[in-house]
Every structure is written in C-alpha cells, then in structure tokens.
Amino acid sequence: MNIGSKRQRNTLARLLTLGGMSWFILWACAPMMSAPPSPPMPPLTEHESGHGAMGGMILNQHRSAIPMPIGGYQYWYRKPTGLNNRDEVGAIAQLGWPGLGGGGYYRKALIKNETAYLGLQGAAGFIWLQASIPAAIKVGEKSWLTTQPSLKMQMLADLHIPVGMSWELGEKGRLDTEIGMHSVSTKLDDGYPPVAENFRRMHNWGPYIGLGYSRRLGKTVPASQSPTSEGSPKLSN
C-alpha cells in the first residue's frame, strides 16, 4: 500500500470539505441592513436602485470577550408591481464580512398613502430566507421615520431590529440612514438555542450603523395628485 498516496488523498478530501463549507458559509448570508429601505417609492416611479454601507461589531460572544467586526456594501433594485403598482419586486446583493450573498424579494403593501407605509416582505437567496415588516411614517415634508424588523434563517439565525430616518433629495434621490441591532444564534454548550433566547440572554448582540442612497427613474406628480391606497390620482384639467 502506498502510504504517501493515501495521506495525500485524505489531505485532499479534507481540503475539499473545508472549501465546500467555506463556500456555503461565504454565500449563505442575508442582507445586514434594511433591504430595500422602507419608504415607499413615489407614484409613477418606474424603478429605483440604491447603494449602502454598514459597519458594526458582534459583542458578548460566547467564550470570547473580543468583539467581531461586521460590515459591508449593499445594493438593491426595486420595481413596482401588482394592482395599481402598490407592491414591489426586486433584487438584493451584498459584499462584506462575514459573508456575501444575493437574492430576490417581494413586498406586499398593507397600508400605503402619502404619510404612512406598512408592508410584509419575503426574500430569499442561496441558502437563506428572510421575513420582514417594512414600515415608514412621514414626519416632515421630505423626511420619514423608518423601521424594518426581520428574522433571517441562514447558516445562523439572525433577529434584526433597525430604526432609521430617510430624507428626500430633490425629485429623484433619497438619503437613507439607520442604526440597529443583530442578535445572532451560535453554537453553545447545549446546541443551537433559538435566536429569541440569545436575544434575551444578550449573547452575540451586533450594534451597527448604516447609510444609503437611492436614485429613482420615472415621472413625478404633485403630492396632491398622488395615488393613495384607494386608487389612481385625479388629474386636474
């Protein structure tokens, strides 16, 4: 028996296994910011794309007092769909640490008018799923108070609770800001506890800050002619 060849085959098998696990962990990562941002697209918007960046750290890790940095770049694309274009469909992508990933989403509007938005969103990518509740309340002529709590099922479950502010910049742009907290489940002595238990025990909390910019394409209409949850705008003669 060739002992050297056997050792080489075993080493190669271990490397392939490690490479496969790293590939899955690298790509199986849901967005780490609200994606896309919660404010609704203005009437007659054809589509919207945006870019964002976030940074933070995972604190109070099990058996480790050293914070783990997290951060990355995020891209989103939104397009209206459904009855009266009340709903949305689009794509999400991110690149950063601890991973990168991409996928698609569908957002269903429950409340959508000139001053408030509430929806349900489902998103999915390679080995990750996400359910979230995007919400926004207009607090100024061009500003929104936002949130988008979500539960993400990926290599490790993640409970995400953000709060932010968005400002309209002219007719086409919007600045999105947010701060938030991730509570990530990890393997403890007793196995994989539910993410809610980790949240209660304040294990693996991940505070972060994020900043984004969105750009819209499409026509614009005066606010007085904007469609509401009741239907299409009434145009004056």
The pair of structure tokens assigned to 69 is: 């940095």
pLDDT at 95: 86
Residue 227 in any domain: the answer is no
Question: Could you read off the pLDDT of 183-231 as tens digits, one per residue?
Answer: 876 544 444 455 555 555 556 778 999 999 999 987 655 444 444 444 4
* Percent above pLDDT 90 for the chain: 44
In this prediction, residues 92-104 reach a mean pLDDT of 82
**Residue 234 maps to a domain:** no
Boundaries of domain holding 183: 3-221
d(Cα 214, Cα 229) in Å, to the nearest integer? 23
With beta carbons less than 8 A apart as the criterion, state whether 219 and 206 touch.
no
Whole-number pLDDT of residue 209: 95
Q: What is d(CA 33, CA 54) in angstroms, rounded to the nearest whole number?
A: 7
Domain assignment of residue 95, yes or no: yes
In a domain, 228, yes or no: no
pLDDT in tens, 50-89: 999 999 987 765 555 677 788 889 999 999 999 889 999 9
Instruction: Give the number of domains in the chain.
Output: 1
Q: What is the pLDDT of residue 53?
A: 94
What pLDDT does 143 receive?
97
Averaged pLDDT of the chain: 78
pLDDT bucket at 153, cuts 50 / 70 / 90? confident
Tell me, yes or no, whether 229 lies in a domain.
no
Q: Is residue 203 part of a domain?
A: yes
Average confidence (pLDDT) over 35-61: 88
Helix (H) or strand (E) holding 215: strand 205-218
Establish if 231 belongs to a structural domain: no
DSSP per-residue string spanning 22-43: HHHHHH----SS-SS-SSPPPT
- Which range of 27-41, 123-137, 206-220, 222-236 scores highest in mean pLDDT? It is 123-137
Instruction: Give every CB contact of residue 85 below 8 A, 6+ residues apart in sequence.
Output: none
**Does residue 32 come out as left (phi exceeding 0), alpha (psi in the -120 to 50 range) or beta?**
alpha
Q: Quick check: helix, strand or coil at residue 153?
A: strand
CATH code of the domain covering residue 151: 2.40.160.20
In a domain, 194, yes or no: yes
Name the helix (H) or strand (E) containing 123: strand 116-125
Q: Report d(CA 198, CA 151) in Å as an integer.
A: 13
